[in-house]
Amino acid sequence: MKIGIRNGSLAMDPLAAIEAAGQLGYDSVELDIGADYAESIMWQAEGRRSLYDASRDNDCEIASLCLGAFWQISPASPDEYVRAEASELTTTAAAFATELGAQWMLLPVTPGGDEVDHDECSQRWIEEVSAVAPVAEDLGVHYCLENVGRGCGKSAADLLHLALGIDSPAVGIYYDIGNAVAFENDPVEEIQQLGEFIRIVHVKDREGDLLGEGLVPIEACIKALVGIGYDGYLVLETPATDDPMAAGARNLEYLQRLLDNL
């Protein structure tokens, strides 16, 4: 397995995070796309070239892009204009992902608002992602639905319902073991339940800033992933702490030691 880290976990902008992650020895970074995406470096052709060059120069892949903007621009929104913006954002980011060498795109399964119930949220997600899935298929990019709070994808059963409803080879699951524990789900059982639908994994602890200091059974989760034949990315979504570089180095060492001892 390869180990990556989010730029937010280093408390750095994308360019600085790529350089820092490479220096620390990470294989990859995950870059967040916020609601101000149109003003970001990723929405400039020159900016995308600089990100790609930085990843190459620092021997650190850009493995994935996170559509964090979905917390403000949700595919489940009752507003058709918001849903249209979410679709355009998704397909545009997929095209940019190919320029950056990123194969995975994190789609947090966000709610459409307090007035949208679970079933309506699920149906909108299925409809909206089904509509843009052919773009991902053509580009060779994978949309990965993540188990996040306040939406309709908090459990393995929820995520499977969405993935099966969308029914595209370009759509899978981004499983977060820390979120699973936060929602009082058993991540080991859910990993076994999701199986081959898992395309990429977030690693963080719960009630502990550093890996191994909280409630998440990280070692058991890694063994469960091995058990289902998973050999992809483990992306850290850990707190930056007061010293992001020291935390990043310590967390990488912890996770690499677990992998080495399998």
Phi, psi of 143 (to 5 degrees): -85, 125
pLDDT at 34: 97
pLDDT in tens, 76-104: 999 999 999 999 999 999 999 999 999 99
Fold entry, domain 2-260: TIM Barrel (3.20.20)
pLDDT at 117: 94
| CB-based contact 259:231 (threshold 8 Å) | no
pTM for this structure? 0.97
Sequence spans of domains, the chain:
2-260
Q: How many CB atoms lie within 10 A of CB 49?
A: 12
pLDDT in tens, 29-88: 999 999 999 999 999 999 999 999 999 999 999 999 999 999 999 999 999 999 999 999
pLDDT in tens, 106-155: 999 999 888 889 999 999 999 999 999 999 999 999 999 999 998 999 99
pLDDT in tens, 193-217: 999 999 999 999 999 999 999 999 9
Q: Which residue type occupies 248?
A: G
pLDDT at 262: 85
Residues near 165 by beta carbon (within 8 Å), at least 6 away in sequence: 122, 126, 130
Handedness of CA 225, 228, 232, 237 (dihedral sign): negative
Compute the residue count for the chain.
262
For 167-188, letters b (16+ CB in 10 Å) and e give ebebbbbbbbbbbbbbbebbbb
